[in-house]
Structure 1
Amino acid sequence: MIYDFSEGRGGQHARDFLGKWRGKLVCDDYSGYKQSFSISVAEIGCVAHARRKFVDLHVAGKSQVAEQAIELIGRLY
């Protein structure tokens, strides 16, 4: 695992850090990575971030399947 800090949230910081590296990147939906996904970096979504969306839907009562999704994701952990 690698962590890189930058002062801003601009996509150029992510591109500078990744450079010519090609592989699979586990990340949230940060838009700064999007350009890298178009040049041979594979996006692997973060399950914890996806789960949060289901929790929001469940709390708001806007989804009949949100609770089931939360339970299924819980089994992964």
Structure 2
Amino acid sequence: MNEEIQALNKIVAIVDEKASLFKKDWSHMPKIRAITEKKLILDLIENALQLAKNIRPAPTDLLGDLQKLKAEFSRLPL
């Protein structure tokens, strides 16, 4: 279980970094790069969600935050 928590923490850190950079720069990115970055972030969020659901007790706050971020990124126009 400890390995799962460490992996989840690493994925969340990557999502945090990439999402912050994307939000700052996406409107200036070439469209293909923005689409690719958005997909990568959404895939990472999905991986984090799946991993978090396997951890007991479930990190409910983190699950909620990841769901919100996923919804936010899904709505971004490209």
Common topology (TM > 0.5): no
Greater Cα radius of gyration, structure 1 or 2:
1
More helix by share: 2
Higher RCO, 1 vs 2 (CA within 8 Å, ≥6 residues apart): 2
TM-score normalised by structure 1 residue count: 0.32
